[in-house]
């Protein structure tokens, strides 16, 4: 046991905390597409019970969008990415707000869902650029 404490340590580094390939902005996009589809279904019916269920499901999906964005923001992207893409923090901030209570979670406006999808696409483009460089 004492030998483990006194043994030389090896310092390693990686750009992510798990092996590459586990992160993908597609997860956030799929949930955002669900939000958009639910909004359409909500507006396509007069059934109040269906509408209530749609709102609950939409809010769950919007929370998942935010979760997947936060994972990318905090776990995948590292300081060198933010140096190369200075707009990245702002993109994530805008996207997470568009998925939250002041955005798609709290709204039934299809335009907000479309804005969210567009922000996710911008993040995805940068993500895939960083994967090409890795």
Q: Where are the beta strands (DSSP E) in 5-95?
A: none
Domains of the chain (ranges; CATH) run 23-133 (1.20.120.400)
Secondary structure of 8-34 in the HEC alphabet?
CCCCCCCCCCCCCCCCCCHHHHHHHHH
Q: What is the pLDDT along the chain (134 residues), one digit of tens a residue?
A: 555 555 566 655 555 455 556 899 999 999 999 999 999 999 999 999 999 999 999 999 999 999 999 999 999 999 999 999 999 999 999 999 999 998 999 999 999 999 999 999 999 999 999 998 76
117 with 98: CB under 8 angstroms? no
- What pTM value is reported for the model? 0.84
- For residue 105, the tally of other CB atoms under 10 A from its CB is 21
2 with 86: CB under 8 angstroms? no
């Amino acid at each position: 046991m004492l030998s483990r404490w006194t043994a030389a340590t090896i310092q390693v580094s990686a750009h992510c905390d798990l092996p590459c390939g586990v992160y993908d902005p597609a997860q956030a996009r799929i949930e955002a597409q669900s939000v958009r589809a639910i909004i359409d279904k909500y507006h396509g019916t007069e059934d109040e019970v269906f509408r209530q269920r749609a709102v609950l499901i939409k809010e769950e999906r919007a929370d998942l969008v935010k979760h997947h964005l936060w994972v990318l923001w905090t776990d995948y992207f590292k300081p060198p990415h933010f140096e190369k893409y200075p707009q990245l923090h702002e993109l994530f901030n805008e996207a997470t707000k568009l998925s939250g209570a002041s955005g798609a979670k709290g709204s039934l406006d299809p335009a907000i869902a479309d804005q969210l999808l567009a922000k996710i696409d911008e993040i995805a483009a940068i993500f895939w650029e960083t994967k090409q460089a890795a």
